[in-house]
Amino acid sequence: MRVRWILLLHATATAWRHTAAPTALRRRHLAGGALASFLAVQQARAVEPKAGKLPPNELAKRVERDLVENQFLATANFDRTLYDESCKFQDEIDTYDLDKFIKGTSKLFVKDRSHVDLTSPVTASDASVEFSFKEDLCFNIPFKPTVFVSGKVVLTRDPSTGLFVKYREYWDQSPNDVLKTAKF
């Protein structure tokens, strides 16, 4: 049990080390001044034009593609145009900003050894998108442990823009039970 907690703490520390804040601070220091900092933030936010107000069936297709083809729960490789830049990502452990979710998730898991499957159809409405999943997540830490997680995701849409403003993951297991599934 102690080894599993150490692995979780190490994985969490690794994710926090790779947040957007230190990078932004380094850029500001290197570029010098408030104007450079402002421009860096604006550039990061100007990813692509946002795809708001999509009809539910089109939105469901895009989210399904992100999950099935891009494995976004394990890779953070998803269509960012569907998300408001202020979107909050919450799982059973913590809540993250968009950039922290992307950086943390992409560094935390080994893409080639992690896999996510849909266990329900992706359903969409004007208010939200929902789906159930199961996944084997391989941590990018020593010994490369893999854990099993299943649950559902609810993506809440902003009524005025149609963009996702909240990502909420509900696990079928407690975080402790997830750790007990670790395989090395």
Predicted pLDDT at 36: 44
What type of residue is 72?
F
Strand ranges, E, within 119-184: 123-124, 128-138, 146-157, 164-171
Q: What 8-state DSSP symbol labels residue 89?
A: E
Below-50 pLDDT ranges, the chain: 1-45
Predicted pLDDT at 25: 38
- 85's tokens: 């830049």
The pLDDT mean for the chain works out to 83
Question: Which of 170, 135, 173 minimizes the C-alpha distance to 155?
Answer: 170
Per the structure, the complete domain to which residue 41 belongs is given by: 2-180
Q: Number of structural domains, the chain? A: 1
Length of the chain equals 184
Predicted pLDDT at 38: 42
CATH value at residue 74: 3.10.450.50
> pTM for this one?
0.76
Rounded CA separation 174/171 (Å): 7
